[in-house]
Chains A and B, each alone.
Chain A
């Protein structure tokens, strides 16, 4: 059972435009959500997180939105830059123990 799903395996965006990555989850007990970025031959790098008691968290060019009723979260990157090209993983946690990851979305920023 896939509790965290990223339904888009890939996304291509023009440099300077907005990138929107989506994630759905099924477990209503998740209380914390995170986004990680991964370059080839490197481990995932933490980007931004949001608690289930909030609906938005912003950090520079990155904003995460949480819609609990729809069990959906999204990551907005504005403006998109070539260095943002990577695989992005959505992850969720219940009780600060393990992280449950989605399958990842490969983001390509085109010049």
Chain B
């Protein structure tokens, strides 16, 4: 059984650029959620994908978008990067449903916008 893996681990981008972060979910999990963790804060929910469909979205602007693929891996895309987008981006996978609320996190991608 493989865990949740994210790539890249670190990334530096310039304001205004676009970025794509990737996540491979844990084997057997069909639900992927993305979180943004700013320095000194708890993770904040961006959105969730269940079987390739968006299944809920947090308070993030439309320039944050995502995809889930048939193998349940996922991408997070951020357009028109702003300095405040600098954060740790976490991907979490779960089995879905009320009986499987526990989410398993990847190690995160540290994004720095300069």
* Chain A contacts to B: CB under 8 angstroms: 4, 6, 32, 34, 36, 41-46, 49, 89, 91, 93, 95-104
Contacts and interface: CB of A to CB of B under 8 A. Distances in A.
A101 B43 contact: yes
Interface centre among A44, A45, A91 (most CB of B within 10 A): A44
Interface residues of B, number: 28
Nearest to A44: B105
A32 B101 contact: yes
Contacts of A34: 101-102
A49 B98 CA distance: 13
A36 B42 CA distance: 11
A80 B6 CA distance: 31
B42 A96 contact: no
A43 B40 CA distance: 14
B36 to A, nearest CB: 11
B108 interface: yes
Contacts of A100: 45
